[in-house]
Structure 1
Amino acid sequence: MTLSSRHLAATFAVSFSLLAASSAWAADKLAAADASMLKDIAQANMAEVETGKLALEKSTSPEIKKFAQMMVDDHSKGLADVKTLASAKGTELPDGPDVKHKATALEFKALSGDMFNSRYAKQAGVGDHEATEKLLKKTQAEAKDADLKALAGKMLPIVQGHLQHARQLVATTDKK
């Protein structure tokens, strides 16, 4: 084999390897609808972490603080799982909460005492977890990607547990 034929063979081998790798990578990319659901799941986790941290700072209620710490811990883990999947699927995630969740955070920052505790339990606790539960069920039902469906299935019981806990918090904070 001459030098030029070896060079040509090497070039074909490298080109074929790159083509095969890019085809495999493209097969792993999420469909637009699946990518959108993954981004929404990321937003939900980011918002829970942010409002949980705020509740840890502002609340004087031991029950609210315990719930808030659980939100920070569990949703940080959930966000890490979302980021891992997004990276594997070539999906770019937002780097922070969306406008709606930023507005909620501003609202919470303006509140204090029992008013803060009540709004946090009702909105971040019950309201946001109801929305996330709905999103995860939709993802399980409609997503095309098996890994995304599996992630939603893994997160759903955790979110449902949070929702149940939040409803108990609302009942407790409403009595005060």
Structure 2
Amino acid sequence: MPLSNSSPRSRPLLAVIMMALIALCCAQRASAQSPGTLSGPGFLETAAISNLFELETSKLALARTQSPQIRAFADMMVEDHTKIAARLKRAAADAKGDFTFPTALDGEHASLLEKLRAASGPAFDALYVQIQTTAHQQAVGLFGAFANDGDQTALKAFAAETLPIMQNHLAQVLKIQVKT
């Protein structure tokens, strides 16, 4: 049942259920793919898809949210993740490896983006915050692990330089209060 057709009383419940499913899905992916075991190409693919996902969901938030707090966060995401994408491409070039740079989301992230597109109002805001929280928890784990144990010097340096930005994003999204 689409959120727009549900009764006002059931919308918060549906939003909570959707957030729980997203968290479960993302937790399973994180446990199945330990960031510390990623090679340079694996890190590059995962980081690029994650970056693109955070960028696309934030652009959508700028178009949809009425919350000044979420708008400010989404603005920061678009600005920072646009820069991160350019830096990641430079690091991949500096690594001189045989890298394929993804230009589209994988199935899991595309599905989450579609769920976000289907939401509106407070349910949209709650889902966006949950998605960004989970994405940044994963990014902090990925970048931290690769910065410590990565096998490509240029990508390892990129991960170490970008980790504080991801940690800041996580801290900022955790401060957002969503009214449902």
Alignment TM-score, normalising by the size of structure 2: 0.74
State the match for 1:60 in structure 2.
66
Higher relative contact order (CA 8 A, sep 6+): 2
Partners of 1:45 and 1:79 within 8 A in 2: yes
* Residue 71 (1) aligns with residue 77 (2): yes
Mapped partners of 2:44, 2:157: distance in 1: 12
* Residue 152 (1) aligns with residue 159 (2): yes
CA RMSD of aligned residues (A): 1.4
2:175 partner SS: helix
1:173 partner SS: coil
Partners of 1:59 and 1:113 within 8 A in 2: yes
* Residue 110 (1) aligns with residue 118 (2): yes
How many residue pairs match? The answer is 141
State the match for 1:138 in structure 2.
145
Mapped partners of 2:131, 2:103: distance in 1: 22
Give 1:150 deviation, angstroms: 0.8
Give the unaligned 5+ runs of structure 2. Answer: 1-37
Give the unaligned 5+ runs of structure 1. Answer: 1-31
Partners of 1:86 and 1:92 within 8 A in 2: no
Q: Counterparts of 1:40-59 in structure 2 under 5 Å?
A: 40-59=46-65
Mapped partners of 1:115, 1:144: distance in 2: 41
CA offsets 1:58-83 (integer angstroms, 9 cap, x no match): 11111111101111110111011111
Residue of 18, 33, 41 corresponding to 2:39: 33
Give 1:141 deviation, angstroms: 2.1
Mapped partners of 1:95, 1:42: distance in 2: 8
Identity %: 33
* Residue 173 (1) aligns with residue 178 (2): yes
* Residue 81 (1) aligns with residue 87 (2): yes
* Residue 162 (1) aligns with residue 164 (2): no
Partners of 1:85 and 1:148 within 8 A in 2: yes
Give 1:87 deviation, angstroms: 2.7
Give 1:44 deviation, angstroms: 1.0
Partners of 1:58 and 1:112 within 8 A in 2: yes
Alignment TM-score, normalising by the size of structure 1: 0.76
CA offsets 1:85-133 (integer angstroms, 9 cap, x no match): 2233242211111111111110000101111111111112x11000000
Structure with higher Rg: it is 1
Give the AA of the match of 2:158: L
Mapped partners of 2:145, 2:44: distance in 1: 11
Give 1:34 deviation, angstroms: 1.2
Mapped partners of 2:46, 2:120: distance in 1: 29
Mapped partners of 1:115, 1:101: distance in 2: 19
Which is helix-richer, 1 or 2? 1
